[in-house]
Chains A and B, each alone.
Chain A
Amino acid sequence: MVTATSSLPQAEIPAGRKKKTQLTREKIRAAWIFLTPMILVLLAVAAWPLIRTIWLGFTDARLSVPGSGQWIGFENYLFWLDYGDGEGEWIGLLADPTWWRAVWNTVYFTVIAVSIETLLGLLVALVLNAQFAGRGFVRAAILVPWAIPTIVSAKMWDWMLNDQFGILNDMFMTLGLISAPIAWTSSPDTAMAAVIMVDVWKTTPFMALLILAGMQMLPGDVYEAAKVDGIHPVKVFFKVTLPLIKPAIMVAVIFRMLDSLRIFDLIYVLTPNNAQTVTMSVYARQHLFDFDNFAYGSAASTLLFLIIAGITIVYIYAGRVNLSGDK
């Protein structure tokens, strides 16, 4: 395995003993005592809230109606609304075009952004893998976008993308790329592009560093041999480097993907209320708090959880990503 991420820690205690010694038993007891506080905290902040969210999705809870929260089954998900005159229609989350629009927006954003980030990350990693003076500086420089709070980077870019006073429009107009200022964050045609632009800027470093770590573990003798044989560097890259760092890329991609699928803060600040950039998280929070549909929002949260879990499992299975660490 290439990165430490991907290998499950192995216990160092030899397991081959026929009988558990007194010492081992004592150790196991101590281990559970050590683990208990952490498990309790995780149960409280992760398991219980998740269960409650799922439960709330099956109720009619509203924040403005104290004491509401009666079990209504799957009505939030799918419900045949009978108009009483023989007409009717399906309503609920599964029949809500706005929800599916949000799912599409999220998936679209994730695929485009993560693809660009992977390619750029690969490029940056290749550059950083070369020997040159000031490499430490460049590596630190690309960490800056990663360290900046998402809200701050959203505001910085919001200012740079401002339609009237933004430097980006000024730059593009000076270069002759555009003829009139573009309202990047408010125009439906460019809102998603603006979000992707900022996300790529912010998270490419993460990608690059993970890939770089993979590259630096590659055996040097392979390259020496390739050099001696006079194989073209580009060919070496595609035939040798890429296959070897593929596991590292796969792991980096899955972490970025999970992150993009739940994106919220960047959109909340950069393109609020813009129908083109409403993602699953934004949709869920809107219903939870802005629209007084606490139960419906909970249902959306649950569905989002299932969708993300589903995509992750498919990805791990199809990409044969080795997260469990078995060699």
Chain B
Amino acid sequence: MSGRQKKLLQQLGLWVLIVIISVYALFPFYYAIITSFKSGSAIFQVTYWPTDFSLANYWGVLAQGRFPRNIFNSIVVSFAVVVLSLLLAVTAAYALARVRFQGRGILLFTILSVSMFPQIAVLAGLFEMVRGLGLYNNLLSLILAYMIFTLPFTVWVLTTFMRDLPIELEEAAIVDGAKPHQIIFQVFMPLMWPALVTTGLLAFIAAWNEFLFALTFVSNDAQRTVPVAIALLSGATEQEIPWGPIMAASVIVTVPLVILVLIFQRRIVAGLTAGAVKG
């Protein structure tokens, strides 16, 4: 075998792998999309290519029932969680990254451990707390509970990021007589947008996808977030399991995420490797 042939073969092998990987990653999503466009009994015919283009399932999910409301809930909760955790994390990260004080290492280690907490371990205690505060079936309970995984994560990533900001900037600001909070919000903040966007996005996705707390802390349809709504979606009509609407709902909530991922893929990868957020 000549060198050129060998090289060609290698290229071929690489491309075969690339195609397999892409198909493997995308096929379930693709299949959900083509299923969501089928209506009636067409859904029970296995097809590999799009055959129907009926919007009935989307209409059913969006126009009847509570699904738009659930999407709104998810947006509110995820957004509030992101804003709150970034707000708390930026100042905390400054303290952890730029100030040397006693107990800093232990604090950082504790924060890292909390971000790896199994959520079930706090479920009983949190349930008690939510009930005690009268927050049951209220989205505030979820905003509170989600802090347990978004806050440590954002603090950690922002700390690593802030540590790398040039010291000269800070020194110059100090010479000008700036106070610590001015350093954070006027000097560092403008440099931190990329990091804030990345961590914010990752925290958003984590909150958007959370299931255990959402299943436990809210009851009514109108308060459910998207994952719970999809998990508990029951057929209001005479079908067995409403696969069509479930697939339509799945596509609706996934498309925005996919678009975000496509736009921010470089940042996401950077953020993931910096913080190793949960999968």
A residues lining the B interface (CB < 8 Å): 3-5, 7-13, 15, 23, 26-28, 30-32, 34-35, 37-39, 41-42, 44-46, 48-53, 56, 123-124, 127, 130, 132, 134, 136-153, 155-157, 159-160, 162, 164-167, 170, 201-203, 205-206, 209-210, 212-213, 251-252, 255-256, 258-259, 261-262, 264-265, 268-269, 280-281, 284-285, 288-289, 294, 297-298, 301-302, 304-305, 308, 312, 323-324
Contact = CB atoms under 8 A, between A and B. Distances in A.
A34 B92 contact: yes
A7 B276 CA distance: 12
A31 B104 CA distance: 10
Contact of B95 (A32, A160, A162): A32
Contact of A49 (B96, B122, B163, B170): B122
A83 B18 CA distance: 65
Given A153-B28, A159-B32, A30 B95 contact: yes
Given A12-B98, A52-B128, A46 B114 contact: yes
B129 A52 contact: yes
User: Could you say which of B15, B117, B124, B128 has the most chain A C-beta atoms within 10 Å of its C-beta?
Assistant: B124
A274 to B, nearest CB: 16
B55 interface: no
Contact of B147 (A41, A53, A162): A41
Contacts of A127: 14, 17-18, 21
Given A31-B95, A265-B231, 5 more contacts: A12-B163, A123-B17, A148-B29, A155-B246, A159-B35
Which DSSP category, helix, strand, loop or mixed, fits chain B's interface?
helix
Nearest to B108: A8
B46 interface: yes
A152 B125 contact: no
A289 B216 contact: yes
B80 interface: no
A143 B202 CA distance: 12
A323 B155 CA distance: 16
Interface string B78-89: 000000000011
B193 interface: no
B150 to A, nearest CB: 10
Contacts of B127: 288
A239 to B, nearest CB: 20
A49 B128 CA distance: 8
A10 B163 contact: yes
Contacts of B151: 38, 41-42, 45
Interface residues of B, number: 104
Contact of A258 (B116, B163, B250, B257): B116
Interface string B99-138: 1110011011101101011111111111111000000000
Given A41-B147, A45-B144, A49-B122, A150 B211 contact: yes
Interface string B176-215: 0001110010000000000000000000010011011001
A148 B254 contact: yes
B243 interface: yes
